[in-house]
Each structure stands twice: as structure tokens, then as C-alpha cells.
Amino acid sequence: MTTAVDKFHEFDRFGSVLGLERVSELLKRLGSPQESMKYIHVAGTNGKGSVCKFLERGLAGCGYKVGLYTSPYIEKFNERIQFDGQMITDDELELYGDQALAKAAEMVADGLDSPTEFEVVMATAFLYFKSKDPDIVILEVGMGGIGDATNVIEKPLASVITSIGLDHMHVLGDTLAEIAVNKAGIIKKGCPVISNVKDHEAAAVIAKKAYEMGSRLYDVSKIRCSVDWISPEGQQVSCELWHTDYSEVVTGMIGRHQAENLKTALATIEVLRQNRDISIERSRLYAGIKEATWPGRFEVMFTPESDWKAYVVLDGAHNDPGAEALQQTVADVFPDKKVIVVAGMVEKKETDKVLAHFGRIGRDFIATQPNYEGRAMDAAAFAGHVRAARDEEGQPLNILATCDTPAEAVKAAYEAVRDGGYDVVLFTGSLYLIGEVRSILTGRTDYDYYRTIKYGDGSNK
């Protein structure tokens, strides 16, 4: 049976072409469902998904009905479209997906350019959210900002820019300033802008755009945010935002970078509160944030009490800033622990820069590759990059195994950690790899030999 997701993927042949003409026409033919809702629009190189989740859970904790649109997904396509903390159902995805697909087919029949896969999915999400009558929809930009399909919305409650880093350079530009121009494209006339961009040149681009649009800029990059304590179970964060105290906020999303993401989300909530767009109750806000989780972002899957006899952590650090944040988080959470790194990457990523950080986490590697047809870096090629990299003492890294599939990599990691005295198994690199590994670890993927290792009898538990 052909599902809506299969039909969406048929539009992948049109690539990731930026521009609003196609999605605007598609939405017009669908009755412009996006026009009836309020939005928080979130862009950035790293951290935007986490900021979205903090916002979604925090606002939900205060009683708001919240829609959430993010990308990519980790395990299941439905993760991308959520309402009230629940994923869109398969039936709803079929219903609203078929409506969007029908209008896309009409456009092609009329001789117009076909919408891309992302644009058809975005239209599906707008139809779904409209049916739910949300108080607020949180939209995560897919790529860049100015030409991203999410930028079809006209007047968000706030435009949020979490960070600027070098990623998608083949599309967005070769410098931080060029990338900042693209991401600043989400700034709308008269709408507040919350920015946590630390690079001076990129921040100047955002400030200039906000000034041109008559939008008040709230630059939180220099506001101090402290991590009071941190552990594999979570951390506590404190900050003060424009004379409003946000102290002792506990979250299960771990790392100094997540403290920065939380600060950005809290700043957005505080701006909306001051503008009287929302009202919050501190205890309910904190309770909601405490519930926030984001799969594949320093996610502790198992502890030493499990049959792994070690911490098993997933983190989709696939670019230089993400890998640097991961290195810092491992140092903070697992000081002096022996780590085995299981990693794989896609092509066109800063592999050597990423490995410079990975090599400071651990010397022992298992090289693998995500199941991403046409873009995955071959496991042997990735292993070559690993061998060329060095640890913090300048010593070459060690390849324990080269595995062609994530399932084989999980098996190799399990055997290595049981035999080698490792304290932590870190799966990292491509989010596509992390999704596959997570499915194996949670038993959602039917790998017989993994069950044999885990349970000892091959039973389907």
C-alpha cells in the first residue's frame, strides 16, 4: 500500500529548491490555511529544534494548545507534525496529505513548477494545524530562512534566530555573514526578534535587518546563563532576562549548549509575556520545560545498570558547532570516562572538522554509515578520515571496526563495550544514522541478531 509518506517522497526528485512562489500557489489553492493561526518562527544553524521543543512544552504547561512543525525526523515521519504533544496520526497524514498532493498535481497539470517534497509536507501541516484550532504554532525553518517554505507566514508573534554556523554552505553561502542574511529573512515588519547569535559579523547582519524592518531586536547572546548542576539525568539552569528572574529551571536536555537554547526559549516567552501575547504561571512553565525531550540530542538511552553495563548516548552532531558542543558536554557529564565513539556521516559535511572534536572525546572508533541513498559517506571512506584524525595529544585515532550498516555497528559496539571496559558508548554523526540506531536500541527495528545479543535467545521481546 502506497502511503502519504511514499507519495511525499516522490517529490524529492525536485530537490531542496528555495523560494516561496510554489508553496504560496499551493497554499492559495488549498484555501490559505496558514493565514488563520499565530506563529513563533524559529531559524538557526544549531539549536532550533531544541528551542522549539522548550517553547512547545513550556507553553503547553501553561495551558496553551500548541502545534509543532520540525524537521528532520529521527525515527518516524509523523514526528515532524505534532499537536498537543502528540504526533499526527497515520490517518490524518493520509487525509491532509492527499489534499495537498491533489493540489500539487493540479499545479503540474496547469503547467506550473511542481512543489518540492518539503513544500507539500508544509502544506499538509498547515491543513492539519488549522483543523486543530491551536493557540500557537511553532515553526522550525527547514533550511536557511528567506526562501524556506515556512517563511510563507506573514506576521509571527516572534522571529527567533538561535545560532549562525557554517552548514548547507552549497546553498546558503560560504561565510557566516552570507548565511546570516539568509536566516535573517524570517524577520517580518514590526515583529519582535530574539537572537542568540554570538558571531559579531553575523549578529550585525541580523541587527541591520531588524532595524530595516522596524522590528525590535532582543539580543540575548551576552546575557549570562549558568548551569547550576549537570548529570546524565539532566541539568539545572539559571538566568535573568530583563529584570525577570528565571532561576533553577530543571531540564532533561543536557549540555551548556542546551542551557543556551533554554535561555533563547525563555527569552522568547518573556518577550511574548511582556507584549501581552501570552500569560504564564512560573510553576507550570517550569513543569512543562522539565518534560521537554528531544530524541537524538545527547539522549541517554541506557545506563550501567542495563545489560550494556555502560552509558549509551545518542547525539546527532553532524557539523562543526554541534561536534564542539558534544565534546564539551561529554567533558562536563562524563569526566575521566572511557568512551567508544560509533559514528557515520553524509557527504558534503565538514567531516574533518567534526572528527577533530570527536577525537577529543575518545580514541577508539567504530566507523559506519547511515542508510541514506546517494548521500551517505561509505563506511570505509569515513574510516579513512578517522585514521587521518588525531586525539587531543596528537595521537592517531583507533578503528576498532568498520561496519557497513548501523545494525552491524550496534552489534560491534555491544561486543566492544562488554569486552573492553568502556564507560560510555557514544553514537554520533548523521541524524539519519542516529534514527536508525535509536530504532534498533528501542526494539522498533526487526534485527534478529541484535535481539539474540540483547536477550540471548533470539526471542522477539
Q: Residue 150's domain is classified under what CATH number?
A: 3.40.1190.10
Q: Are residues 390 and 285 in the same domain?
A: no
Query: What are the C-alpha distances in Å from 455 to residues 414, 442, 443, 448?
Result: 12, 13, 11, 10
- Residue 394 is predicted with a pLDDT of 86
Q: Are residues 240 and 355 in the same domain?
A: no
334 found inside a domain: yes
9 found inside a domain: yes
Of 14-23, 40-49, 123-132, give the range with the top mean pLDDT.
123-132
- Residue 191 is predicted with a pLDDT of 97
461 found inside a domain: no
- The percentage of the chain sitting over the pLDDT mark of 70, rounded to a whole number, equals 92
Residues spanned by the domain of 115: 4-290
Q: Are residues 384 and 414 in the same domain?
A: yes
Q: Are residues 271 and 419 in the same domain?
A: no
Q: Is the pLDDT of residue 13 over 90?
A: no
Q: Are residues 254 and 354 in the same domain?
A: no
Query: Exposed, middle or buried by CB within 10 Å (0-12, 13-18, 19+), for 222?
Result: exposed
Q: Are residues 277 and 313 in the same domain?
A: no
In the chain, what is the straight-line distance between the N-terminal and C-terminal CA atoms, in Å? 27
Q: Is the pLDDT of residue 459 over 80?
A: no
432 found inside a domain: yes
Tell which residue, 375, 330, 10, has the closest CA to residue 168: 375
pLDDT in tens, 400-424: 999 999 999 999 999 999 887 899 9
Q: Are residues 19 and 147 in the same domain?
A: yes
Task: Find out whether 329 and 321 touch, Cβ atoms under 8 Å.
Answer: no
- Residue 440 is predicted with a pLDDT of 95
Q: Are residues 79 and 107 in the same domain?
A: yes
Region of poorest pLDDT, from 44-53, 305-314, 389-398: 389-398
The CATH number for 378's domain is: 3.90.190.20
Q: Are residues 173 and 268 in the same domain?
A: yes
Task: Find out whether 386 and 301 touch, Cβ atoms under 8 Å.
Answer: no
Q: Is the pLDDT of residue 80 over 60?
A: yes
Q: Are residues 42 and 145 in the same domain?
A: yes
Tell which residue, 460, 422, 389, 454, has the closest CA to residue 313: 422
Higher local confidence (pLDDT), 342 or 167: 342
Specify the pTM. Answer: 0.91
If one counts the domains in the chain, the total is 2
Separation between Cα atoms, residue 411 and residue 70, nearest integer Å = 31
Q: Are residues 376 and 424 in the same domain?
A: yes
With H, G, I as helix, E, B as strand and everything else as coil, classify residue 343. strand
Q: Are residues 178 and 134 in the same domain?
A: yes
Q: Is the pLDDT of residue 373 over 90?
A: no
b vs e for 390-422, b when ≥16 Cβ sit within 10 Å of the residue's Cβ? ebeeeeebeebbbbebbbbbbbbbbebbeeeeb
pLDDT in tens, 138-185: 999 988 788 899 999 999 999 999 998 776 545 565 688 888 999 999
